[in-house]
Amino acid sequence: MNLFNNYKIIISIGLLILISILQKFNKSKTVTITSVDTQSTNIIQSSHNNNKVRFILYFAHWCGHCKAFLPIWNEFKKNNTNTDIEISEVDCEKNNGTCSNNNIDGFPTVKLYKNNEEIEFTNERTIEGLNTFINENC
């Protein structure tokens, strides 16, 4: 019986440590966002008019998957050397019209706009996945 109580104490301590670690990871990190021109709510048309290739992340701050993906996206964006591609984000909480006009119904959603065409990102949400997608589509 005494051995059982020792295991309960060890498990309780382990759970407290795990909860503490998870709370540290769950805290929101400040992320600098460069937003697209949300005045033009149809990004496909706007990209076509400007002859630009745009790679855009649509996100919401409350979304757990977005919180996990934003640091990866920002690292990818920082390391991007292709000046022919405009990489940006749209905060769908602040720009709901832009998101609905571009058929965004889940988060995070990443789309590439080029030549009056929209290509949705379906690769793994990693820097390698983003680079592979860009190399295959640009």
Rounded distance between C-alpha atoms, residue 92 and residue 108, angstroms: 10
Between strands 109-114 and 117-120, the pairing is antiparallel
CA dihedral 34, 111, 41, 38 (to 10 degrees): 0
Q: Which CATH superfamily is domain 43-137 in?
A: Glutaredoxin (3.40.30.10)
Q: Is the pTM of this model over 0.75?
A: no
Who has greater pLDDT, 128 or 18?
128
Domain spans of the chain, in order of start: 43-137
Sign of the dihedral defined by the CA atoms of residues 133, 136, 137, 138, in that order: positive
- What would the pLDDT profile of 53-77 be if each residue is shown by its tens digit? 999 999 999 999 999 999 999 999 9
Q: Mark residue 98 as left, alpha or beta (left: phi above 0; alpha: psi -120 to 50; beta: remaining).
A: alpha
Q: For the residues 104-117, what does the mean pLDDT come to?
A: 94
For residue 95, count other CB atoms closer than 10 A to its CB.
20
Residue 12: the pLDDT is: 54
Q: At what angle do helices 127-137 and 64-79 cross, to 10 degrees?
A: 60
